Amino acid sequence: MRALAFIAALVACAAATFFSYNEAALLLDPYNVVWRAPERPRAAWAVEQFRGAKIHHLAAHRDAYDTLILSDSRGSANKTSKVARASGLRLFNLSTSEDSPVGFVPKVRWAIDNMKLRAAILILSPMQFQATPQPDLLLFHEHPAVSGESWLSYYWTFSNLPYATFLTSARYYVRRALGLPVDRTPVITSGFHVESGDTNIWGRDYDDFEPSAADRAVFDAQVKNDAPGVIRFRHSSLAVEEMAGLRTRFAQPLRQAQIDSFAETIALLRSRDVAAHCLMAPLPLSTVRLIPQDLYFKWMQIVLEHCGSAWDFSIPTAVTADNYNYWDIGHYLPHVAHAMLIRVLCGEGDPEFGRRLNAGDDLARYRQEWLAAAEAADGAREEQAK
């Protein structure tokens, strides 16, 4: 009996030590700024870790990459490893949630000084240029190597937070200790695949998803069963009354601070002979229609003026008019991103998907072509519905 009691006590002490270790790490360093735990349960992950964790990774592997992808969450999963093999480039996806040209500048400045950078791929949307710069928000907090902030200040900012991360993780361990159901799926604490930088917050690479006839049939059945006015995407739907709020949001003016930062980003890249590939994101046709036409083409003109040339992947095609290719109203799926990058970097793929534009092109004429393509896409969709 004594031996059994000793073993039970030993097991209990080991469990308590394990629990204490994990919870102490979360309590002292909830956003993993110093502890650098390789993984934690899903409950302990937070999107605010992205910017710092990605720069931390690049700083430790600065010779491993020669090309960076810069974007907001629209560029978060691109099948980047697969594109790297096809293009011969050593790609890393530096996209982070809610990023914009104001955030591109410090990261590009750091990259050209610390890496042997050959190219940068900028995946752009008007929403990035409409965003109000809010550098004091935790979501936009850059790594000290990029921002110049002291490490003490950086750690203090992240450690003095409401401990939502600690509490949700503690509940996870308590439920598991009591034998109650828990989501055991671990997630890399940084939230990204360490080779490619693609988002990995689902506990696995979402790159694994590929369209299939069976999956498409399920989606089509859902669309047919939706109430009138519902717009369905591959993983979400939007009621017609929600569109009014989005229309107001998408009509916000372009911010001069974002335009100036974009110009600075391109200038920084050119100063070191780093190629800049400017890509206008393949937004769903239903999303682009919420943006005032004058604003959208004004934004397009700004991109062309600074980039010299750019790829427009928003022009209506079979891809952009098909909501099956989108996670929601603003995020395309990885197979679309892969097709876009292969088109730009390898010159392969559907020639109808994406249009290369130059600064000297007649945008008024292109605008008419764009609108005609939208009408054609509408007609094709109505015909298919019959």
Query: What does residue 334 show for φ and ψ, rounded to 5 degrees?
Result: -60, -30
pLDDT, residue 176, reads: 77
pLDDT, residue 203, reads: 44
User: If DSSP states are collapsed to H, E and C, what string results for the chain?
Assistant: CHHHHHHHHHHHHHHHHHHHHHHHHHHHCCCCCCCCCCEEEHHHCCHHHHHHHHHHHHHHCCCCCCEEEECCHHHCCCCHHHHHHHHCCCEEECCCCCCCHHHHHHHHHHHHHHCCCCEEEEEECHHHHHCCCCCCCHHHCCCHHHHCCCHHHHHHHHHCCCCHHHHHHHHHHHHHHCCCCCCCCEEECCCECCCCCCECCCCCCHHHCCCCHHHHHHHHHHHHHCCCCCEECCCCEECHHHHHHHHHHHCCCCCHHHHHHHHHHHHHHHHCCCEEEEEECCCCHHHHCCCCHHHHHHHHHHHHHHHCEEEECCCCCCCCCCHHHECCCCCECHHHHHHHHHHHHHCCCCCCCCEEEECCCCHHHHHHHHHHHHHHHHHHHHHHHC
pLDDT, residue 216, reads: 93
pLDDT, residue 61, reads: 94
pLDDT, residue 184, reads: 63
One pLDDT digit (tens) per residue for the chain, 386 residues? 666 655 665 665 555 455 566 667 767 777 777 777 766 666 666 777 788 889 999 999 999 999 999 999 999 888 999 999 999 999 999 999 899 999 999 999 999 999 999 999 999 999 999 999 887 788 888 999 999 999 989 888 887 665 666 777 777 778 877 888 877 665 556 678 888 999 876 444 455 678 899 999 999 999 999 888 888 998 888 887 787 778 888 999 999 999 999 999 999 999 999 999 999 999 998 888 889 999 999 999 999 999 999 999 999 998 998 999 998 888 999 999 999 999 999 999 889 899 999 998 999 999 999 999 988 887 766 666 55
pLDDT, residue 136, reads: 79
**What is the C-alpha separation between 203 and 186, in angstroms, rounded?**
6
What are the sequence ranges of the domains in the chain? 16-385
